[in-house]
Copies of this chain bind each other. A is one copy, B any other.
Amino acid sequence: MQKASLPKGTRDFSPEVMNRRNHIIDVIKDVYVLFGFDPIETPAMEQLSTLTGKYGAEGDKLLFKILNSGDYLTKANEQALAEKNSNQLVSSISDKGLRYDLTVPFARYVVQNQHNITFPFKRYQIQPVWRADRPQKGRYREFWQCDADVIGTKSLVCEADFIQIYHQVFTNLGLKDYQVRLNHRKILEAIAKTIAFQGSFTDLTVAIDKLDKIGWEGVTTELTNKGLAPDKIDSLKSLLRIKPFSMATIGELQESLVDCEEKTLGIEELTQVLNHGDISHVNIVLDFSLARGLDYYTGCIFEAIIEESGIGSVSGGGRYDDLTGVFGLKDVSGVGISFGLDRIYDILSNQGSFEESYTHNKVLFCHFDEVARKYALACALKLRVNQIPTVVYPDLKKINKQFDYANKCGYKWVAVVGDNEIETESVQLKNMQTGEQEKLSLTDMIARFS
């Protein structure tokens, strides 16, 4: 006998959980559609060459790799096999991997379908992704991303739209305590110049990105090791503040940063985003400590959190000027955001937002004997023709057993039928919550539930 179990970090979703997850997905999808995004889907598997090298060295390690079919060892790298070098062997026995996010597959999709796409192209995509991360609370090996991207335009109208989308999604989900954090990679580059950072820009963003986890103490150690002087670290600390997203804050940047091309561009773009529509209703801040780990971001970057949830960011995104370049399509700028379905679910769940008990809107027919069951089956067909979800208890069991089943399953409405109901073409309609019972003709019952 085998034990029924799941790979660690993966989950089943019961009907109750599915209904809640589908609610979140519907909210996000509806907002995407309202802003003009169309759906696409890409396969779970991608060529490993499409995925590797896109998520940093750490990301490559977290890719799930699929063993080649058939006699995969015939093409295995002999040396790697002899030396038992797992890393070196991989590429010779596996050429497919599970997708790690939806952004790189989207870039691949755009390049592959470039002749059938009218740019600017707005797509949304809601699918699972897989990462061989160490599973822990709130972190799964299979989890869902809900992405929207616009590709083929540099217009900052897109960034302004995403800010509105954030507000709409969180409002519709009942998450009033959201905060959208905005930064610009060019401003970060100007900050690097202002403090005369000698290391690579990636060194700086990687360090800043850890602020949440290791605090200023840890970041100071890291940057000191990279040769940054204490007074420069102090300047950095004073620059990486959270500020209102306003013309006043942008004016301060003008003062505090050394003049450079990046500063000019960053300020110009942030100003445009501010000017592309009313954001007074949006809870948004400029957070100059927001770095986003991924190298491909080049312009505005986003993150959204739910305050006091204790769970990290529930969404991230940004502009990438050349993500398609690696696949051979140059100069196509895009911008996108991604909501993490599982984290949003966990927050709503912790907040008790799902408290309402789970009741079916469908009707269960209970019956006293075989003849009554046959009558119930005929009634059910008629109800279904009228789009009323209906179940006939399948077995011939005592009526109390059938009521137990109805209660355990959360049925609100049970239609009880026996000889009397058959004769009068009616049902005894029982409200399982109140216990009230009422005799109704089948026609009246259909009318009531339609």
Contact = CB atoms under 8 A, between A and B. Distances in A.
Contacts of A62: 69
B39 A18 contact: yes
Given A2-B327, A44-B142, A392-B157, A36 B67 contact: no
A88 to B, nearest CB: 10
Contact of A387 (B34, B157, B394): B34
Interface in A124-175: 128, 130, 132, 141-142, 150, 153-155, 157-158, 160, 164, 168
Given A45-B142, A47-B6, A12 B66 contact: no
A10 interface: yes
Contacts of A109: 4, 12
Contact of A122 (B18, B132, B391): B391
Contacts of A65: 66-67
A70 interface: yes
B6 A112 contact: yes
Interface stretch (A90-98, A292-300, A303-311, A430-438): A90-98
Contacts of A94: 67
A152 to B, nearest CB: 9
A279 to B, nearest CB: 10
A355 interface: no
Contacts of A277: 374, 377-378, 381
A46 B7 contact: yes
Interface stretch (A78-86, A200-208, A229-237): A78-86
Interface residues of A, number: 106
Interface string A360-388: 00101000000001100110010010011
Contact of A132 (B7, B69, B111): B69
Interface of A is mostly: mixed
A157 B377 contact: yes
A47 B7 contact: yes
Interface centre among A10, A34, A74 (most CB of B within 10 A): A34
Interface in A92-115: 93-96, 98, 108-109, 111-113
B392 A43 contact: no
A61 B71 CA distance: 10
A2 B112 CA distance: 11
Contacts of A400: none
Interface string A2-21: 11111100111111001100
Nearest to A80: B73
Q: Give 7 nearest A-B pairs by CB, closest first.
A: A36-B391, A155-B394, A15-B38, A10-B43, A4-B111, A4-B327, A157-B394
